Amino acid sequence: MYADDEITADRARLAGRITELHGLLTQPQFLPADAHMLSGVALQTPDLAPDGDPMGFYAAGGKVVMPVAGLKFIEDLTMAYAWRYRQQRTLEPLDEYLAMLRWKPESEWPGGAYLDPLEAFGVPPGAWERDARLAELGTSLRNEAWAFVLAHELAHVLYAHPGNSAPAATSQANEAQADAFAMALMESTDTLPLGAFLYFQATVAFYTSRADFPSDDAYARWQREQATHPVNAQRLMAIAQQLQLWARRAADEDRRAVLFDIGDKMEQFATGLKDPAMQQLVVRRAVYGDPLDLQER
């Protein structure tokens, strides 16, 4: 999706921003008592993960790896979301765009190449420089998404999770534990998790989902036996429930309403992920849709 020169141009800026966030999230005043050692975790920002995965965020051996290409994609996606929101335009096309990345062959995209989020939605170059409120919203969403991913990976270090070498059931339990830690850390820093919701929308486009299987039984068998990091309904529903608890603890009524709203969005998204008919519709619209139409809606 991104040419080498695009990654090169943004490498230092993105690495610097995620390093700043890493420093914030690992400050002792935000960490649980047993997580003080996270301040010593190393952060690495290669262009891609070792296997070439742009979204291959992972933790291993006391370090957290955040590929620049993945950071850039999240930034562009959240800015596209913010721009459409500021334009008072429907946000549904973002789901279609992400599904197209998963299901429409690159050869069938305009010019035979995937469009990044800013291109796909026609966000004018430099729009955030001319609109301070757009820049503020987009930056907030980006940081929320980055914060969730980073905190999730820090949890794997804290709990010494073994990664993909563990059985599927163990890995899934580890993912749930890391999600819970990330949400607790975001709550301690007063970070709203709408950006985290956008991150999960994005990861569904890149990884295995119910739409890859011919039946519920086949999908369930894959989850039991092979899935180490599934983005599935159970995982998202657990986060939605945590958001509802978080909302009930919020003293500010406006904040409480926002948290309940994000929780509802996460719950609806989870419900759609486990609905075979909905997943088939998503795939069909992605396969036959025209990426250029996204800008007009």
The pLDDT of residue 236: 85
Secondary-structure breakdown of the chain: helix, strand, coil percentages, each rounded to the nearest 5: 70, 5, 25
Work out the pLDDT band at 74, boundaries 50, 70, 90. Answer: very high
pLDDT digits (tens, 9 = 90+) for 83-140: 999 998 888 888 899 999 989 999 999 999 999 999 999 999 999 999 999 999 999 9
Phi then psi for 43, rounded to 5 degrees? -115, 130
Residue 85 CB-density burial (10 A; 0-12 exposed, 13-18 middle, 19+ buried): middle
Average pLDDT score over residue span 29-58:
85
Structural domain of 253: 4-296
The total number of structural domains that make up the chain: 1
What local confidence, expressed as pLDDT, does residue 49 receive?
92
CA distance 175 to 170: 9
Across 39-53, 66-80, 87-101, the highest mean pLDDT is recorded for 66-80
Q: Per-residue confidence at 43, pLDDT binned at 50, 70, 90?
A: very high
| Chain mean pLDDT for the chain | 89
Q: What is the pLDDT of residue 277?
A: 84
Residue-wise pLDDT for 197-227, tens only, equals: 888 888 877 778 777 888 889 988 988 888 8
Reference 1, options 111, 91, 141; nearest CA is: 111
Structure confidence at residue 273 (pLDDT): 79
User: If you average pLDDT over residues 142-165, what whole number do you get?
Assistant: 90
User: Is residue 65 a contact partner of residue 58, using CB atoms and an 8 Å limit?
Assistant: yes
Q: What is the pLDDT of residue 72?
A: 97
> pLDDT above 90 covers what percent of the chain?
45
What digits encode the pLDDT tens for the residues 16-41?
999 999 988 888 777 776 677 787 89
What would the pLDDT profile of 165-188 be if each residue is shown by its tens digit? 788 889 889 999 999 999 888 888
pLDDT of 199: 87
Residue 55 has pLDDT above 70, yes or no: yes
Nearest alpha-carbon partner for 199 in 157, 235, 162, 223: 235
d(CA 114, CA 138): 22
What pLDDT score was predicted for residue 34? 67
**Residue range 232-238: mean pLDDT, rounded:** 83
